[in-house]
Amino acid sequence: MRVAALYDIHGNLPALEAVLAEVEAAAPDLVVVGGDVVAGPLPGETLERLLALGDRVRWVMGNADRMVIEAFDRGGRPADPADAIDRLDAWVARQLTQAQRDLLARFEPVVRVAGTLFCHGSPRSDEEIITAVSPDARLGPLLDGVAEETVVCGHTHHQFDRRVGDKRILNAGSVGRPYEDEPAAYWLWLGPGAELRRTDYDLAAAIERLRASGLPELDELVLRESLLEPVGAASAARTLEARATA
């Protein structure tokens, strides 16, 4: 089975459009959308573009998806107005329709396909952190009970391909908000084998389009460390691993 795994789009519709041009040309059997779809500048438009792929799509719940649902159910109000991420989620929630909110709520905790488990953070939590430098000893308990030989994750926005015991762990990277050495859209192709892919697109035009969305604090919350001043994969891995073990 040929599978395209698209993770952490974060409402970056221009990046998604560029990736989908390649995905649709390759004609996969399945597209797995790995969570954190709408938490960004063009949420509704991003969701509708993915819906246009039809029944080839399976959806994994991300932590940001949950938070947007919660904000929607509060009437688009932030849980903590002093928290920048809560403000972002509340703004995103106000851009969505009830039908779009209900679609988010139907996302699955994990998707299992042909010997591969797709999750957002880890197989047991959409918030747990797996990085390129996570010690095997820390990751072992996160993989307990997983029968599949391959686990595809996201959440930490940097690609990697590594082994932990008898498991292969692949991070698909981030389509819309990558923590990589160079700005682009990052995703994963499976079947046969596994290929970590990168799609370049017109960043200047994309940033202009994203800024026109009206999302407050866009540069600081979404663009700065991913597209404007890339933080780098190694730095992101170290920082996120320190957070996971703090």
pLDDT greater than 90 at residue 246: no
Q: Are 191 and 2 in contact (CB under 8 A)?
A: yes
> In this structure, what are the phi and psi dihedrals at residue 153, rounded to the nearest 5 degrees?
-130, 180
Whole-number pLDDT of residue 57: 97
**Residues with Cβ within 8 Å of residue 196, at least 6 apart in sequence:** 159, 161, 170, 172, 173, 186, 188
Whole-number pLDDT of residue 143: 94
Please give the torsion angle defined by the CA atoms of residues 119, 197, 178 and 41, in that order, rounded to the nearest 10 degrees.
-80
Whole-number pLDDT of residue 75: 97
DSSP letters for 131-186: -TT--HHHHGGGGTT---SEEEE-SS---EEEEETTEEEEE---SSS--SSS-SEE
Q: At residue 225, what is the residue type?
A: E
Roughly what angle, to the nearest 10 degrees, separates helices 43-51 and 84-95?
50
Q: What is the rounded average pLDDT for all residues in the chain?
A: 97
Whole-number pLDDT of residue 138: 95
- In tens, the pLDDT along 120-130 reads 999 999 999 99
- In tens, the pLDDT along 119-164 reads 999 999 999 999 999 999 999 999 999 999 999 999 999 999 999 9
- In tens, the pLDDT along 76-119 reads 999 999 999 999 999 999 999 999 999 999 999 999 998 999 99
Q: Are 154 and 10 in contact (CB under 8 A)?
A: no
3-244 folds as Purple Acid Phosphatase; chain A, domain 2 (3.60.21)
pLDDT greater than 90 at residue 59: yes
- In tens, the pLDDT along 190-220 reads 999 999 999 999 999 999 999 999 999 999 9
Whole-number pLDDT of residue 114: 87
